[in-house]
Amino acid sequence: MGQLLNFQNDDSKYANGTLAWFIRPTNSPATVTPSKLVPPDASEHHHVSYIQDAKISKLIEKVNEIEERLNILEEDKHSEIINLRNISLSQAKQEIAEYFKVHDGEQIDYDELFNSLKIDLPTIITACSELEAEGKIG
């Protein structure tokens, strides 16, 4: 087992009454004893305070970011959630070709296909490109 550090409590720099616990190594199992602990001088205390202030500032920034995201979500909560279907490219091509037949002569864009067929846009774009190259839509 590794050797434990022996913290001394006889240093007058640690005298303001803050209580800490140290594990002191002995020949018997480790013992836990109370000890007084404060920063040894004002400059170290200032350094600790500066670190705490920096951490608090970062936390405030994070809270502000979260609030902004929450506000955006609350504004969009009335938006429709679309559950996309996970289908193969060949299935998407068949459904898109059928959609074009049913809506012959109409102007059809990707957005309309997306909203009507619930297929993800990359699949729609690829399927339309292939169907166009095959001369099935145009």
**Predicted pLDDT at 33:** 47
**Predicted pLDDT at 117:** 96
Q: Report strand pairing: 31-36 vs 19-24.
A: antiparallel
In order along its 138 residues, the chain shows pLDDT tens digits of 334 444 444 444 444 444 444 444 444 444 444 444 444 555 555 556 777 888 888 899 999 999 988 888 777 766 667 788 999 999 999 999 999 999 998 999 999 999 999 999 999 999 999 999 999 998
**Predicted pLDDT at 48:** 62
Q: Is the dihedral of CA 25, 26, 28, 34 positive or negative?
A: negative
**Predicted pLDDT at 46:** 58
CB 99 within 8 A of CB 119: no
Say how many Å lie between the first and final Cα of the chain, rounded: 77
CB 136 within 8 A of CB 97: yes
* pTM score, whole prediction: 0.44
Q: Phi and psi (nearest 5°) for 83?
A: -90, 110
